[in-house]
Amino acid sequence: MVLSLRGVSKHYDTAEGPLAVLSDIDLDLAAGSSLALTGESGSGKSTLLHLAGGLDKPDHGQIVVAGQAVSEMDDRGRAAVRRGVVGLVFQQFNLIPSLDVAANLSFHARLAERSDPAWEAELADRLGLLPLMRRYPEQLSGGQQQRVAIGRTLATRPALILADEPTGNLDEANGDTVMTLMLELIAETDSALLMVTHSTRLAGRLDRQVKLTQGRIVL
């Protein structure tokens, strides 16, 4: 299993008291597979993604990513997992303003000491970024920035891709291109994809769908 969650629960403190966001979540995701995480806003989808990516720790339960018990690690250990194992694609692009598209595309791969110029050039081509390689983020549209952010994630060939509405800023044609590329990468590298989406059409392209309702998985 690339991702395994057992009995995972998470709450946040509010002025009104503890707010349970996830309750006793069990979830498995095998290499070479994809899973769509659906549910209404506030159901806990993004929190689950953050926990799986080591951006936060659960209150209870165990999270294992590529054989590593992320839920038992400190901040430094979880950061190392994010650099070397997990690829994150969120709605915020988080591109580096002082770097052009080419440098942004290779940034995470260089940090992880996995930079492969040939692979990065292939990604740029498949994402339609080749004419934009010398532009800076401020010179790009929102959809173009999103494609750069997705390419930057794929450049490391992560074992686990965690994506939160990854095509939300793209038109349908570009969104389909990006989805196809991510699914092809999974097949080519035996990685896994966990994607939050509100689109039933995109969810239907993945192997499985799981719905969260009030912090619990509904089968």
What single string gives the DSSP state of each residue in 190-212?
T-EEEEE-S-HHHHTTSSEEEEE
Residue 11 and residue 44 in contact, taking contact as beta carbons nearer than 8 Å: no
pLDDT digits (tens, 9 = 90+) for 11-52: 988 888 888 899 999 999 999 999 999 988 888 898 999 999
Cα–Cα distance, 208 to 38 (Å, whole number): 11
Q: Which pTM does this prediction carry?
A: 0.89
Structural domain of 175: 3-218
CATH number for 115:
3.40.50.300
First to last CA, the chain: 20
- Count: domains in the chain: 1
For 157, residues 6+ apart whose C-beta sits below 8 A from its C-beta are: 114, 119, 185, 189, 191
Strand (E) positions, 15-144?
17-29, 34-38, 60-65, 68-69, 86-89
pLDDT digits (tens, 9 = 90+) for 121-159: 999 998 889 999 999 999 998 888 988 998 998 898 899
